[in-house]
Amino acid sequence: DGGITQSPKYLFRKEGQNVTLSCEQNLNHDAMYWYRQDPGQGLRLIYYSQIVNDFQKGDIAEGYSVSREKKESFPLTVTSAQKNPTAFYLCASKEGPSNTEAFFGQGTRLTVV
């Protein structure tokens, strides 16, 4: 089945630790995105990548890092510099930057304990 897969579904992290969230897609999409979702708020863009080996900061990139070494993979690292990391993280992909429909993964819920 083609799709976009995020893992794990639930993740717990101790304060001060970095953690990496996985996002893999087999849709052959060029563009990939990371969003953060908090209760009562819309999705906010963290980072996006239009093509392999390229990525750009979104609206709330501080405390996060990404890499795009392969077309199908766009991992997000939540660093200890992120002040409020507990949230629901969503990865999305599009066929190309100018395409309209984005396909979302099922999300990873990160809890800092």
Partner 1 sequence: GESVGLHLPTLSVQEGDNSIINCAYSNSASDYFIWYKQESGKGPQFIIDIRSNMDKRQGQRVTVLLNKTVKHLSLQIAATQPGDSAVYFCAARVGGYQKVTFGTGTKLQVIP
By the criterion CB under 8 A, which residues form the site for partner 1?
Answer: 6, 31, 33, 35, 40-45, 48, 50, 56, 58, 90, 92, 97-107
- For residue 70, the minimal CB distance to partner 1 (Å) is 20
CB of 16 to partner 1, least distance (A): 28
Residue nearer to partner 1 on the CB measure, 1 or 15: 1
Q: Which residue, 56 or 111, has its beta carbon nearer to partner 1?
A: 56
- Indicate the residue among 65 and 88 with the shorter CB distance to partner 1: 88
For 21: left if phi > 0, alpha if psi spans -120 to 50, otherwise beta; the answer is beta
Nearer to partner 1, 53 or 106 (CB): 106
What is the nearest approach in angstroms of partner 1 to the Cβ of residue 17?
A: 24
